[in-house]
Amino acid sequence: MGLGSLPALSLLLLFLSPTVFGYNPDDVKSWCAKTPNPGPCEYFLTNKPENTHITKESDFYTIAVQLALERTLQAHQRTNSLGPRCRNELEKAAWDDCLQLYDFTIEKLNKSLDSTRKCTKVDKQTWLSTALTNLETCRTGFYELGVPDNVLPLMSNNVTKLISNTLALNKVPYEEPSYKDGFPTWVRPGDRKLLQATSPAPRANVVVATDGSGGFKTIKEAVNAASGSGRFVIYIKAGIYNENIEVKGKNIMFVGDGIGKTIITGSKSVGGGATTFNSATVAVVGEGFIARDITFRNTAGPKNGQAVALRSGSDLSVFYRCSFEGYQDTLYVHSERQFYRECDIYGTVDFIFGNAAVVLQNCNIYPRRPPNLTNTLTAQARTDPNQNTGIIIHNCQVTASAELRPVQSSVKTFLGRPWRQYSRTVYIKTFLDSLINPAGWMPWDGNFALNTLYYAEYLNTGPGSSTANRVKWGGYHVLTSASEASKFTVGNFLAGGSWLPATGVPFTPGL
């Protein structure tokens, strides 16, 4: 999506000068004082000629999002102008990611402003969280490829600060939203039958088969053929599909013949010149994506660095009975709300990572043999304390993979480490085998984030579950209260009762 496809409101804001609205200076100072970043808030609002009063909190929230959108559009335009300065493929790869991520950010801010859309404050907090995550991902891509500072996007920190302000203004407690008219409009009640059926294949819109027995030989062709506003089901017959796929359409469903039977595989990696964001074998961003009975694989290997099997930025996405296989950075839970049930995840370093609001339930987590003798299961990337994101691992099993078992005693395996300052990860009623290091958690870099993160464990079992010798960080918690742990259940953390029943996926709403 390029600049020409932006919504009319965005294009209008793009060409407005910073003196569009204008607000009474006394109003501005008092209202901006309610935000974590009053400086840019005051600067951009007081430098406007008109004299308008802000009368209520909802108006100020709208104004704050409009201001963030205006500055994001200008940053997008400046980033777009950097194209000619890209001197090689590495710089161009990071630049391409940023353009796409800015497009996604503009889309999320527009959704948060759309008064015609039926949504809750939780929905808006999710989209605003994603907007901030997108900008951080853009910046990260340049750094990880070693692109020099003079080619970095001309992104003012004011953009991230303004989005951070909107998160603070819209902050909501852990609670399940109620939809007066039933399920949200983007959930299709008919999906229930697709996940509950023995085989959804007969209801498929299209069929993919490597032997030519379906309508398509590649999954990418089938994705490109997706149409209509309802659920579009792509049945992918057993076979190995060596391709990289991006799913942008809404309400698309992949159905395979089972783990280890329908396999989608790729080998892109940071070691091979891709960004982490663009290394994914399969990337999904269209809301309402569902996958069932499929293996997602990245075969770049343990020595090529970050190499993603699946990246999801799909809001209200479901992965049921799927396998994710890689080494470093296998499963990129990038953003939005996601649910994984009865899945297998294999990897070594930070192999479940990102900044989504995600719950993994009844899954098997298999650390593999790492090249540097250290495994970290998670690396959660919350950069703002008001982002409603985190990695929740509920009623899962953490055991050594077959390749790790013979050398398990020489490998240190940790539950996670803080990729970003407000990293949040919670293990609930999960079996932790003896491979888990007694300290439980690993620092990222010295004392970074140790007091601002939120790591917690609640009623885990197994020989690796003892908290007696766990880290003593200010942000680490051993939960003993069911009411505190309940904040991180499917029902509360994902508002699962509002959308998961329609998909038909089995889930436990509470502890």
Q: What is the mean pLDDT of the chain?
A: 89
pLDDT of residue 197: 67
Cα atoms in the 13 Å half-sphere on the side-chain side of 337: 22
**Listed range (198-207, 222-231, 244-253) with the worst mean pLDDT:** 198-207
Residue 6's pLDDT band, with cuts at 50, 70 and 90, is very low
How far is residue 194's CA from residue 100's CA, in Å, rounded to a whole number?
Answer: 32
Segment 98-132, tens digit of pLDDT: 999 999 999 999 999 988 888 899 999 999 999 99
pLDDT of residue 23: 60
How far is residue 222's CA from residue 216's CA, in Å, rounded to a whole number?
Answer: 6
How far is residue 39's CA from residue 156's CA, in Å, rounded to a whole number?
Answer: 13
Q: HEC string of 354-378?
A: ECCEEEEECCEEEECCCCCCEEEEE
Residue 457's pLDDT band, with cuts at 50, 70 and 90, is very high
Q: Is 85 helix (H, G, I), strand (E, B) or coil?
A: helix
Active site residue 384: no
Instruction: At 318, list the tokens.
Output: 């479901």
- pLDDT for 255 beyond 70: yes
Segment 420-444, tens digit of pLDDT: 999 999 999 999 999 999 999 999 9
Catalytic residue among 350, 384, 433, 445: 350
pLDDT of residue 3: 37
pLDDT of residue 118: 84
pLDDT of residue 200: 66
Residue 338's pLDDT band, with cuts at 50, 70 and 90, is very high
Segment 137-177, tens digit of pLDDT: 998 888 887 776 555 555 557 899 999 999 999 987 654 44
pLDDT of residue 185: 46
Q: What percent of the chain has pLDDT over 70?
A: 87
How far is residue 427's CA from residue 393's CA, in Å, rounded to a whole number?
Answer: 5
Longest dimension (CA), the chain: 72
How far is residue 508's CA from residue 360's CA, in Å, rounded to a whole number?
Answer: 11
Segment 7-60, tens digit of pLDDT: 444 433 333 333 344 566 677 888 899 999 999 998 888 876 555 678 888 889
Running DSSP on this structure, what letter comes out for residue 163? H
Residues 6+ away with beta carbon under 8 Å from 361: 339, 340, 341, 394, 395, 396, 490, 507, 508
**Percentage helix, strand, coil, to 5, in the chain?**
30, 20, 50
Active site residue 433: no
Lay out the sheet containing 323-325: strands in order across: 239-242, 262-266, 295-298, 323-325, 344-347, 364-367, 397-398, 431-432
Catalytic residue among 97, 293, 329, 344: 329
User: Higher confidence at residue 263 or residue 190?
Assistant: 263
